[in-house]
């Protein structure tokens, strides 16, 4: 009777004791999946944002920012102007939400639940990080004489951060199931992101430093999401299988 009564108690104590070590193991594996290079990049991005906060508080406009915006108006052929304006409008919050929803529905129909969760965490997380945390913190004004009527802060660019997370995350998740499309997906995503960034500069919606900061923040968050997804796959190898 004593032995039978002790076993459940010992099991409960053992379960409680393993909760902490299990979390520590997952954290260690997440850091390993993230890698030293990405950890250093995240640290440098944090330091750069802190430095930017001090610099933008004294001088909202940097010399290179004004030079780039003026140069684009002179260097780019006038025929490219209307398409770039349409691209910027097309890649706004509403259309991006439609893209995320469409991708989420596709993953759900395929029953790729881990990828589905990763997509929602990645896309929703970067929106909160940029629009709810960083932009109000910096409060930088957008360039004057913008081609569009825009609201909200300028630094860092939500277009840049969101495009890095959504397009590269979607390409990476799809490439896991169709490895032969990995390079075309990544190259196509990268070219489209470059057009989005160029359109933001041409429309004078952002400074160049906004784009650079947004891309860096987006890459850090993308790396965190993919590292977490890698750890999940390691513990649940049957949830993600290549299809060709």
The answer to whether residue 230 scores a pLDDT higher than 80 is yes
In a domain, 212, yes or no: yes
Highest mean pLDDT among 46-55, 60-69, 150-159: 150-159
Q: What is the pLDDT of residue 65?
A: 83
In a domain, 31, yes or no: no
Average pLDDT over residues 208-223: 93
In a domain, 28, yes or no: no
**List of residues 6+ apart from 42 with CB closer than 8 A:** 220, 223, 224
- Give the pLDDT band of residue 108 (cuts 50, 70, 90): very high
pTM summary value:
0.83
Q: How far apart are CA 26 and CA 178, in angstroms?
A: 27
Q: What is the pLDDT of residue 168?
A: 95
In a domain, 22, yes or no: no
- Give the pLDDT band of residue 213 (cuts 50, 70, 90): very high
Q: How far apart are CA 133 and CA 141, in angstroms?
A: 16
The answer to whether residue 76 scores a pLDDT higher than 80 is yes
Q: What is the pLDDT of residue 20?
A: 55
- Give the pLDDT band of residue 27 (cuts 50, 70, 90): confident
Q: What is the pLDDT of residue 2?
A: 40
**Cβ–Cβ < 8 Å for 211, 64:** no
Average pLDDT over residues 69-85: 85
DSSP state of 111: T
In a domain, 89, yes or no: yes
Average pLDDT over residues 187-207: 91
Q: How far apart are CA 63 and CA 71, in angstroms?
A: 12
Extract long-range pairs of 32-37: CB within 8 Å, 24+ residues apart.
Answer: 33/226, 33/227, 33/228, 33/230, 33/231, 34/223, 34/224, 34/227, 35/227
Cβ atoms < 10 Å from Cβ of 194: 11
In a domain, 83, yes or no: yes
Average pLDDT over residues 168-194: 93
Better pLDDT: 60 or 55:
55
Q: Which domain holds residue 210?
A: 40-239
Q: Into how many domains does the chain fold?
A: 1
Tally the C-alpha atoms within 13 A of residue 168's C-alpha that lie toward its C-beta.
21
Highest mean pLDDT among 5-14, 115-124, 234-243: 115-124
In a domain, 8, yes or no: no
In a domain, 54, yes or no: yes
- Give the pLDDT band of residue 71 (cuts 50, 70, 90): confident
Pull the structure tokens for residue 161.
């951060």
- Give the pLDDT band of residue 58 (cuts 50, 70, 90): low
**Cβ–Cβ < 8 Å for 161, 223:** no
């Amino acid at each position: 009777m004593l032995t039978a009564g002790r076993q459940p108690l010992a099991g409960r104590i053992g379960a409680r004791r393993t909760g902490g070590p299990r979390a520590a193991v997952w954290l260690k594996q997440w850091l390993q999946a993230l890698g030293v290079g990405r950890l250093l990049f995240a640290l440098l991005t944090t330091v750069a944002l802190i430095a930017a906060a001090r610099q933008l508080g004294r001088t909202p406009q940097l010399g290179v920012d004004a030079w780039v915006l003026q140069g684009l108006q002179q260097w780019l052929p006038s025929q490219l102007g209307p398409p770039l304006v349409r691209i910027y409008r097309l890649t706004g919050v509403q259309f991006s939400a439609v893209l995320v929803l469409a991708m989420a529905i596709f993953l759900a129909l395929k029953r790729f639940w881990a990828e589905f969760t990763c997509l929602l965490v990645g896309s929703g997380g970067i929106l909160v990080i940029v629009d709810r945390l960083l932009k109000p913190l910096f409060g930088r004004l957008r360039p004057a004489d913008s081609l569009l009527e825009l609201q909200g802060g300028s630094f860092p660019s939500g277009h840049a951060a969101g495009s890095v997370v959504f397009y590269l995350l979607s390409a990476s998740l799809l490439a896991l199931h169709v490895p032969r499309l990995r390079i075309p997906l990544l190259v196509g995503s990268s070219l489209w992101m470059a057009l989005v960034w160029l359109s933001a500069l041409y429309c004078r919606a952002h400074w160049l430093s906004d784009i650079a900061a947004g891309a860096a923040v987006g890459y850090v968050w993308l790396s965190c999401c993919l590292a977490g997804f890698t750890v999940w796959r390691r513990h649940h190898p049957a949830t993600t299988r290549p299809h060709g």
